[in-house]
Chain A
Amino acid sequence: MEVFLQALVNGILLGGFYSLMGMGQNIIFGVMNIVNFCHGEMLMVGMYITYVLYTYFGVDPYVALPIVAVLMFGLGALIQSTLITPSLKTKSFTNLLFLTVGLGLLLTNGALVIFGSTYYKIITPYAQTYIPLGPVTIALPRLISFLILIVVAIALFAFLKYSTTGKQIRAVSQNPIGAEVVGINVKKIYILTYGLGVALAGIAGSLLTQFYTIYPTAGASFGFRALIVVVVGGLGSIPGAFFAGIFLGLLEQMSALFISPSYSDMIVFVTFIIILVVRQVMILRRR
């Protein structure tokens, strides 16, 4: 029972990261209808920025969070304005797909060239503090990270729902041409959206540094899970992404507990395929 509860808590804590990644991917996919295949790599970049700030400037990972978010937003805006917006015109899904794949390769191998394939770790003074919570224990950084995740998720939800810019983003995702007609600067919204999505991935990466090793391909598995979250949670839905992420984290931990840890990846993938196909069949039926 204790093992089960511990797995339950771990699943929720892990799922929080999938949620955050999924939210970033969700707004990019929802607004521009492109799959950001370098989303996991953006998480990795966020991890390295946090690492550099901590090691060379002594900035605490939680203090570094806003800096990482701003830097990642800048990176995303730069990529969007110089590479993705011009390629959107070609309307070729293949090109956009491989553009983001190419960016992912660029970032991974850029990190490999700069930092080498060494595994880095950030060990803060409070990293080993554990909080007993009834029958389960939670590492303090994990708990703080999860609380920050929830705050970010709520802030994002409120931003998209109530602010003018958020409303503009939703308008563009529903109908870009219509949005342009009513005077929304669609190009600006695209830049903002991509920057925001990338910043969310960066935040996830930054929060992850305290209990995850930092290496060039660290983001790959998170990147793919973000896509699963988008598909399962539904396009454009922030609460959907949140719960889908938690569900995915739980699924992974539970299958590791009840079946076998080595099969947990495979179970995630197979579940994903089944959900995708069933979802499509349901869409076709409805027509």
Chain B
Amino acid sequence: MDTRKAVKTYHRNLAIVLAVIVAIFAAIPLVVDKPYIINIFVLTFYMSTLSMAWNILGGITGQNSLGLAAYMGLGAYVCCLVVTKTGMNPWVAAVLDMLVVGVVAGVIFFPSLILRGPYFTLVSIAFAESIRQFIINSEFFGRASGVGLPFGKDSFAQFRFTSKVPYYYIGFIMMVGVYLIMKKIGRSKLGFALRTIREDEDAAAAIGINPTKYKVIAVVISAIIAGLVGFFYVSYIRYIDPDVMIQSKSTEIVLPAVVGGAAYIEGPLIGGLIMIPLSELLRANFAAVLPGINMLMYAVVLIVVIRFRPSGILGWYMNSKFKAFIDEKILKKPSLDVLEEYELMADKGGK
């Protein structure tokens, strides 16, 4: 059948392209043996993951939180303390840390979810700062000097490696895994509910979507992913102090999403893969002479994107000739009519 064949070709091409991309990423550590380059990739992976965590609450639900770094830091602290004080396996501690961060975020945000627009942003900043101040003042959390994980032999069970390559692969898997979950959420009822709340909260409530309930879900998902990244971060750096929770770090998390296109699931991923290596290269080459130059570049890119491409790189790409070319020539994407027809056929076949 013609329709079926065209759609099958398209899906096959799509799969080939994705497989090639994954293969390239898998092959990079085999070709490049500079730890410095691998480090940039690891950084890119976990920052993009964090940016995706922000995006579910900020870009998709429209609740612009500016305090995610605090939840990542909290996750890292919980993980670190549980491992050092009780000797628990780090992987188990990671699950515990995600639970703790999710519950903490859900409980403290619950009363403030009635706040809208700028007020929500302000409260998220205030919460993040309060958490940081609490940690700085707490003996248990090691005050301003932070806490570290024990060093020792390489071991997967302890998530401890001398080489950066295992972190590269685990970081990559984490990023892709979180992306797939986000993609799944984006297509589910939850995703549609969240987008409806972003567009018009009152209308959402009128058609039977409980805004508070869905906002809590978004906050908790976002915090759980931040907790996961916290676990990865502390296992990689092996040390955590309150400085990773400062306000500017939270802003840094948001930038890839806004530059990439905050309304899209893929936005933070695209933004992260472009912006973070660029920023790190600038830092490496110029930071000695001109400190702050990489953040300056970040700021300029951010302002230019918002001013001239308000929907981000991805928003621009979606309407560009470049996408049309790729769809037509490389992926051989069939027209929307054909795709719809195929879906109808699939539905009938299913029944």
Can you name the residue of chain A whose Cβ is closest to the Cβ of B128?
A269
CA distance A134 to B175 in the complex (A): 64
Q: Does B307 contact A (CB under 8 A)?
A: yes
* Interface check A110, CB cutoff 8 A: yes
Across the interface, A216 reaches (CB within 8 A) one of B125, B262, B292, namely: B292
Query: Are the C-beta atoms of B117 and A280 separated by less than 8 Å?
Result: no
Residue of chain B at shortest CB distance from A34: B118
Cα–Cα distance between A94 and B63 once the two chains are bound (Å): 9
A266/B122 in contact, CB under 8 A: no
A284/B114 contact (C-beta < 8 A), A99-B306, A109-B299 known: yes
A-B CB contacts (within 8 Å), total count: 131
User: A276 in the interface, Cβ–Cβ < 8 Å?
Assistant: yes
**Stretch of A84-92, A123-131, A161-169, A195-203 lying at the B interface:** A84-92
Closest chain A CB from B304 CB (angstroms): 9
Query: Would you list which residues of chain B between 242 and 290 have a CB under 8 Å from chain A?
Result: 247-248, 251, 254-255, 258, 262, 290
Contact assessment for B303 and A109 in the assembled complex, using a CB-CB cutoff below 8 Å:
no
Complex Cα gap A265–B251 (Å): 20
| A→B interface (CB under 8 Å) | 29, 34-35, 83, 86-87, 90, 92-95, 97-99, 101-103, 105-106, 108-110, 112-113, 116-117, 216-217, 220, 224, 227, 231, 260, 262-263, 265-266, 269-270, 272-273, 276-277, 280-281, 284
Please give, as numbers and ranges, the residues of chain A lying within 8 Å of B122 by CB-CB distance. 35, 227, 231, 272, 276
Determine the chain B residues whose CB is within 8 A of the CB of A109 once the complex forms: 292-293, 295-296, 299
Residues in chain B near residue A29, CB distance under 8 A: 118
How does the 8 Å CB contact mask read for B134-151 relative to A, with 1 for contact and 0 for none?
101100000000000000
List B contacts of A281 (CB < 8 A).
Answer: 114
Q: How far is the CA of A262 from the CA of B134 in the complex (A)?
A: 10
Q: How many angstroms from the CA of A159 to the CA of B338 in the assembled complex?
A: 65
- Contacts of B302 on A, CB cut-off 8 Å? 98-99, 101-102, 105
Question: Do A262 and B137 have beta carbons less than 8 Å apart?
Answer: yes
Residue in B62, B117, B293, B299 whose CB lies within 8 Å of A103: B299
Given contacts A83-B307, A262-B136, A266-B137, contact A94 B64 (CB under 8 A): yes
Cα A112 to Cα B248 with chains together (Å): 14
Q: Majority SS of interface residues in chain A?
A: helix
Q: Of A90, A277, A280, which contacts B310 at CB under 8 A?
A: A90
Binding site for A on B (CB under 8 A): 58-59, 62, 64, 66, 111-112, 114-115, 117-119, 121-123, 125-127, 129-130, 133-134, 136-137, 247-248, 251, 254-255, 258, 262, 290-293, 295-296, 298-300, 302-303, 306-307, 310
**Given A93-B64, A231-B119, A269-B298 contact (CB < 8 Å):** no
Q: Is the CB of A102 within 8 A of B299?
A: yes
| B115 partner residues in chain A, CB cutoff 8 A | 276-277, 280
Chain A: minimal CB distance from B199 (Å): 12
**B136 CB → nearest A CB, Å:** 7
Q: What are 15 contact pairs spanning A and B, CB under 8 A?
A: A35-B121, A87-B306, A90-B310, A93-B118, A101-B302, A102-B303, A105-B248, A105-B251, A105-B296, A105-B302, A106-B299, A269-B130, A273-B130, A280-B114, A280-B119
Across the interface, B296 reaches (CB within 8 A) one of A35, A106, A220, A284, namely: A106
Query: Would A98 and B254 count as touching, CB distance under 8 A?
Result: yes
In the complex the two chains form, what is the Cα distance from A170 to B290 in whole Å? 44
A-B residue pairs, 4 tightest by C-beta: A112-B292, A105-B299, A266-B133, A106-B299
Could you tell me if B306 and A276 are in contact, using CB atoms closer than 8 angstroms? no
The answer to whether B300 and A97 touch across the interface, beta carbons within 8 angstroms, is no
Closest to B66 in A: A101
Q: CB distance B295 to A269 under 8 Å?
A: no
Find chain B residues with CB under 8 A from A99 CB: 302-303, 306-307
Which of B58, B66, B133 contacts A269, CB < 8 Å? B133
Q: In the complex, A263→B138 CA distance in Å?
A: 11
Residues of A within 8 A of B134 (CB): 266
